[in-house]
Amino acid sequence: MAPLRLRHPGGVVTIQVDFDGFTVQDLQQEVLAVTNIPLALQEYKAGYPPHSLTVIPELPLESLGLKPGEQLIVSAKPGLQAQFSSTPTANIPTPAARYAPSPSQPPPASASTSGPDYVEVEGGYLVHRIVPDDNACLFSSVALVFEQGIDKASDIRQIVADEIRADPINWDDAILGRPREDYIATILKPSSWGGAIELSVLAKHYATEIASVDVETGRIDHFTPPPEKDTGNRCILIYSGIHYDAATLAPMLDAPSDFHQTVMPVTSQGNNDPILVAAKKLADKLRAKRAFTNTATFDLKCEVCGQGLKGEKEARAHASETGHVKFGEY
């Protein structure tokens, strides 16, 4: 065993790692014990300047190129709401519920009555396509993009369930963070939220990159299909911290929805692709309206016992300790 410095959102610790015997998944389990970040949401960087590491759980630890005593930076990918899906009856307030009682704070874009936000691009407009705040927002957004209708959200859930069931190697209990059949049964329920796991599965299924743009930070997270299946196309989702919407290309602002282009070709690598630049500008507009929620710091109250909580981490811990799964925001 040898030391490895672990820098994570909660601070810096030193863990002991078997560099000769560990797999990447063994390291992920050690990180989970320290950070509570589920395996599928762990994102690693190392070196100076820090660079992203490719995480393949089945490979030996040496595949990451880490050395004893080196610092490993761990963060969480977007989609932290997926952690709440382990308690499928958890009732987390929707964005509309958050903003409606507070006249001093601007409403989110989804509450706007003047039409969706947009950014002008060459030959048209990238338009914010808003879907309902009903626990199925990820599935509705993906259905809008690939199936041309949010009414197909339940079909998208079934696709995820079928893909996970058919691939027990890549989607085992450790990666899912719970028994496979339990996860599959939960994700099929209308009350369960989706996140990074579901986006990874759907990117592979549709052979298309799903780029998720975080409103609060402007960060773009890329969920890509395997190289052999990649069609060279991309779609855009907008992530507010607790809610997913889509963004699609319209030839003109008043064009009907069936004229929108929902999947676009990737024209350049990295985040300089014109569509990604436009997506970040769209996130900037939404951020200016405070159309996001910081899930690490927002104040919650257990509606069963009245205890005050801060952020998802405390809410998850409270649910685990007490079985209480209904929360409201202060």
Residue 292, classified by CB atoms within 10 Å of its CB into exposed (0-12), middle (13-18) or buried (19+), is: buried
Q: Is 8 annotated as catalytic?
A: no
Q: Is 137 annotated as catalytic?
A: yes
Q: Is 324 annotated as catalytic?
A: yes
Give me the catalytic one of 134, 162, 284, 299.
134
Q: In this structure, which long-range contacts are made by residues 145-152, counting pairs with CB atoms below 8 Å and at least 24 apart in sequence?
A: 145/235, 145/237, 145/246, 145/248, 145/262, 145/263, 146/202, 146/206, 146/208, 146/235, 146/262, 146/263, 148/258, 148/262
Sign of CA dihedral 165, 171, 173, 177: negative
Residue by residue, what is the 3-state secondary structure of 83-141?
A: HHHHCCCCECCCHHHHHCCCCCCCCCHHHCCCCCCEEEECCEEEEEECCCCCCCHHHHH
Q: How far is Cα 124 from Cα 269, in angstroms, rounded to an integer?
A: 22
How far from each other are the two terminal CA atoms of the chain, in whole angstroms? 46
Give me the catalytic one of 243, 245, 302, 318.
243
Give me the catalytic one of 8, 117, 133, 137.
137
Q: Is 134 annotated as catalytic?
A: yes
- CB distance 38 to 82 below 8 Å: yes
Active-site residue numbers?
Answer: 134, 137, 243, 324
